[in-house]
Chains A and B, each alone.
Chain A
Amino acid sequence: MKSNAKLGDYVEVHLSKIIYEGILLETPESEKGVVLLKLDSGYNIGLNKKDILEIKLIKKSQERKEDIIIKKESSKPNIAMIITGGTIAARLNPKKGGVDWLTTPEDLFKFYPELFKKVNVIKVEVPFMKASEDMDFKDWQKIAKTAQRLLNDSNIKGLIITHGTDFLGYTAAALSFFLRDLNKPVVLTYSQRSIDRASSDANLNLECSALAAISNITEVMLVGHASINDDFCYAIPATKVRKLHSSRRDAFKVVNSKPFAKIFHDKIEIISDYKVRNRNKVKLDLKFVDKVALIKIYPGQDSSILNYYLRNKYKGIILEMSGLGHAPTKRSRNNWVKKLKEIQKKGLIVCVTAQTIYGRLNPLVYSNGRELFDTGIIYLEDMLSETALIKLGWVLAKTKNREEIKKLMLTNFSHELNDRLEE
């Protein structure tokens, strides 16, 4: 089968008994033996390559170039955006079958005209384009550097960062620690429903993010749907947010804290205290030790897994324990107490968080807890495991002193600890 037709061209596909007409599309990776054709009705069908006698070019595809001119209005506040990837910045390219990224103000304007009603987006920075599950600490550092530059630009009133949802919580926590002396709002937002559909949650999330970015709430926060209704979002402290649903638009929930505010498309209702705008210059505190790990405890688990981390020169471990902070102890066939003592003696820092997600740890209630507590492991109160992992990597870069590390881990830098749980 030879053809001079390219993707997007209008073609005739000749099979032995029938000729189809339509637009030639790219075939998905998984279906290499298939030619995909868009019929005049709009329907796509697949044709087996081995059945095709000829693909005849009828009409070349025409590149459409639209000139979108976004008017900048001086009456509107200026904001900047950092685009990092994820559903919110991915648009389907049906010719390719894959996605194109939205990386310019013009792209954004085409998809999110509502955003531009409230603010001028005067800068769009793209440090990289990745799905959030592909990111690591170096990516968080890049975002932080870009953010610092934008926040210290006096023309910009606030910053929106769009991001994939999967590991958004980690980036959010990292920025909370990396950006010191914050002077303006830093808003992370996302989309759970692809933006090619009219029902995308990105619209409300971005509209509310724009309001948050020009508000007085000078915090790193995540703004997203509060419920499955398209009526308002919550602005949630970036260290206290967790993705708790794989697909719902209100996937992100505040854990062991309260949102800063409830944000409608046209107003903000404040819920809890926040820092206000100021004339600080934002500083970076980027150093990070990535030899940290997060381990979830399960029944009967063999503690010798910890040998791996020792051997591979890990510096710190977050153990996500059961209930108030428990792991298998003396009545278990796999008592963790001895191993925990041993690895700490060898220099590994061990912190504890709650696998219940909600609630505060307290190792003193049960004897098992006391036994574990006596090994010297650090119980991180009500801190989220993901936030704890990031914070440990950040703290370990500051000091090697065990007592100092413990003190820093239990110092509240950015709302990660809450000494009053109301729910």
Chain B
Amino acid sequence: MIKKDITQVKEWKKLGLKCGLEVHQQLDTNKLFCNCPSILRQEEPDFTVKRKLHAVAGESGDIDIAAKHETAQDKEFIYKVYNNVNCLVELDEEPPHEINKEALKISLQIAILLNCKILPITQIMRKTVIDGSNTSGFQRTVMIARDGFIETNQGKVKIEGLFLEEDSARPMIRDGKNIIYRLDRLGIPLLEIATAPDIKTPEQAKEVALHIGDILRSCRVKRGIGTIRQDINISIKGSNRVELKGFQDPKIMVKTVENEISRQQDFLKKRMNNPSEVRNVLPDGTSKFLRPMPGEARMYPETDLLLLNIHRNLINEIKRNLPKLRSEVLEDLKKTGLNHEMIKLLIRQNKFEEFKEFLRILDNPQLIAKILLIFPKEIASREKISINKIGKILNKEVLVYVLENLKRKKISEDQLKQSLERIVKGEKIEKAIVFEKEDINVVEEKIIEIIKRKQGLSLNAYMGLVMKEFHGKIDGKEVMEIIKKYVE
């Protein structure tokens, strides 16, 4: 490991390190060119679709080098499709709808926060991608703004451009020449922020990443693993530019940049040219060849949509309503009727965004606060598992799944916590929401028995006793009805 002191910084400068960052952040809206919700699924898909892609000459008449590489094999792509998060647009069976206005507004907010100049007229483009990760064979992308900057300890770093694009499908399995993708992620709005190659040291790269991350989190963006991805473009004097793709964790950024620098140095020592290529970052900070660097031949206009005009009025409106500060967030939470303690916990544990998101699934602030704050803690102490581990098991997707089943009345509020417990204990989520139902006559007999045995208790006390007896196999509301019948 190289020691990073002043001499090291000089060392980087001597090497002529040029480093630019690309941050890709999912926005928290419906999809960019259709009205599907932007939610990732865990379950088995509703159906699958088989497709092939053919390389096509771009507008210059050239087939893009990256596209050529991908089409070398006669691949078949299999797409797993989910009815509730996919429509004909993601299936490449319907033209795109008008660009999502919410996503555009959020992008413009971020553009303003990054001191960018917004383009008044711009065109939605198709970027040829034929590794199958886009059913259409291209990714829709549009340049929204340019020429911004952020301040760092080592000086200004210029923001070259801001691009709003569609996220790609998730690759699941590579099975010989076939690749299986899930279509849930395809079309989720993804904001790309590209800095100029102004970054001079790996430390500064990390600082830029964190700074941009802070701005993003003040706006309506998705949170959690996979919702933000970072690429770094790196070259040193005499070497060709290499794009490192897929950083999840800023912690390994410094190490990865250092590794890439020494990799490029090795080429130079051998008096060889390193190929300009895209490489995938591995968890240990090294990287692996992914594909050749794509050229400009792969961009052409999205002919199904009109030019995008970003009106002055819209920009002014956004400037007037830039994201809320922490104190304002507090006000919002108070309006939901949550008590002070819960609000404090939500903010401290940084669960505010999830809270808002879950509230959109089920309008029950108290229950959602419990799901986020209380239940994990209770389960952790009962099962003697660390709260961190519980948090990983009961991740957002699991909670969304359980909440949706509650909304569809597949489980009751009483059963929800038990479902979570069972998931923590290792049950599959599909099974953990299945409950045996106790015969209501048996329940009624038991209730009569309990009331006889322990006379004079309150309704709630009886309720507790009955629920304990049947351990979640019964519906609390029904039980209360029966108890009321016998306790006057």
Contacts and interface: CB of A to CB of B under 8 A. Distances in A.
Interface of A: 18, 28, 30-31, 34, 36, 38-48, 64, 66, 92-95, 97, 110-111, 114, 193-200, 203-204, 228-231, 247-249
Contacts of A114: 54
B303 A40 contact: no
Contacts of B60: 64
Nearest to B194: A41
Q: Which 4 A/B pairs are nearest by Cβ-Cβ distance?
A: A198-B137, A46-B121, A42-B299, A44-B123
A100 to B, nearest CB: 11
5 contacts: A41-B143, A92-B59, A198-B128, A198-B130, A248-B88
A363 B53 CA distance: 50
A229 B88 contact: no
A30 B88 CA distance: 28
Contact of A195 (B56, B61, B136, B300): B56
A229 B51 contact: yes
B301 A94 contact: yes
Interface stretch (B35-43, B92-100, B321-329, B381-389): B92-100
Contacts of A97: 301
A320 B272 CA distance: 75
B135 interface: yes
B50 A229 contact: yes
B380 interface: no
Contacts of A204: 52
Interface in B296-331: 296, 298-301, 303, 306-307
B54 A44 contact: no
Nearest to A197: B137
A199 B136 contact: yes
A290 B436 CA distance: 70
B126 interface: yes
B122 interface: yes
Given A41-B161, A42-B299, A193-B92, A203 B122 contact: no
B303 A194 contact: yes
A198 B67 contact: yes
A197 B121 contact: no
Interface residues of B, number: 48
Contacts of B143: 39, 41, 43, 45
Contacts of A197: 56, 92, 126, 136-138
B64 to A, nearest CB: 10
Given A28-B307, A48-B120, A247-B94, A203 B300 contact: no
Interface of B: 49-57, 59-61, 67, 71, 88, 91-95, 119-123, 125-128, 130, 135-138, 141-143, 147, 161, 163, 296, 298-301, 303, 306-307
Contacts of A38: 299
Given A94-B300, A247-B93, A45 B119 contact: yes
Contacts of B122: 43-46
A44 B61 contact: no
Contact of B54 (A28, A40, A43, A200): A200
A203 B54 contact: yes
A38 B161 CA distance: 15
Contacts of B301: 44, 92, 94, 97
Contacts of B128: 198
Given A43-B143, A46-B122, A199-B51, A64 B300 contact: no
Contacts of B163: 43
A71 B49 CA distance: 35
B177 to A, nearest CB: 14
B4 to A, nearest CB: 33
A366 B293 CA distance: 70
Contact of A228 (B49, B123, B138, B303): B49
A194 B143 CA distance: 23
B237 to A, nearest CB: 22
Given A30-B306, A43-B143, A196 B123 contact: no
A199 B135 contact: yes
B50 A198 contact: no
A20 B112 CA distance: 21
A92 B126 CA distance: 12
A64 B61 contact: yes
A131 to B, nearest CB: 15
Given A199-B51, A199-B136, A110 B93 contact: no
B49 A43 contact: no
B320 to A, nearest CB: 24
B233 to A, nearest CB: 13
Nearest to B51: A230
Contacts of B136: 193, 197-199
Given A92-B59, A193-B92, A247-B94, A45 B123 contact: yes
Contacts of B147: 18
Given A42-B299, A48-B121, A203 B93 contact: no
Contact of A198 (B61, B88, B125, B138): B138
A399 to B, nearest CB: 45
Contacts of A195: 56
A231 B50 contact: yes
Given A30-B306, A42-B127, A198 B92 contact: no
